[in-house]
């Protein structure tokens, strides 16, 4: 779609459909995404329940969404690297490792957000 075309309801519906296809593909083909998805299904409602006020709820629940988003991007990087360069190449390995590192950093962010919020309650 060119940048001059309008984004009407039909285009938005198509974009939503493609996004749902991406989520289904990640769930079907990516074990890491499924594991993080299961954790999300447990921790997201827990974060909404345990959070005091909108900001805490947003931090507890939102930090989990960031992990899933990064995992989707990491999986996309891995898929395109595997398609473009099926044999081992240092740069391909580096790209995949960096995508994985981004997910790891956001997992640390989840632990930090949850830990700081609940540490504050204990003190």
Residue tagged active-site, from 71, 78, 87, 90? 71
78 a catalytic residue: no
| CA 92 – CA 88 distance, rounded (Å) | 7
Catalytic residue numbers, as ranges:
71
């Amino acid at each position: 779609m060119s940048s001059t075309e309008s984004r009407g309801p039909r285009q938005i519906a198509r974009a939503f459909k493609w996004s749902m296809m991406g989520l289904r593909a990640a769930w079907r083909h990516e074990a890491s995404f499924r594991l993080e998805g299961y954790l999300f299904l447990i921790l997201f409602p827990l974060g909404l329940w345990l959070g005091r006020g909108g900001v805490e709820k947003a931090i507890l629940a939102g930090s989990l969404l960031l992990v899933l988003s990064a995992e989707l991007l990491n999986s996309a990087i891995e898929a395109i690297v595997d398609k473009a360069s099926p044999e081992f190449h240092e740069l391909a390995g580096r790209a995949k490792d960096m995508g994985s590192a981004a997910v790891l950093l956001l997992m640390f962010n989840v632990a930090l957000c949850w830990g700081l919020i609940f540490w504050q309650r204990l003190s």
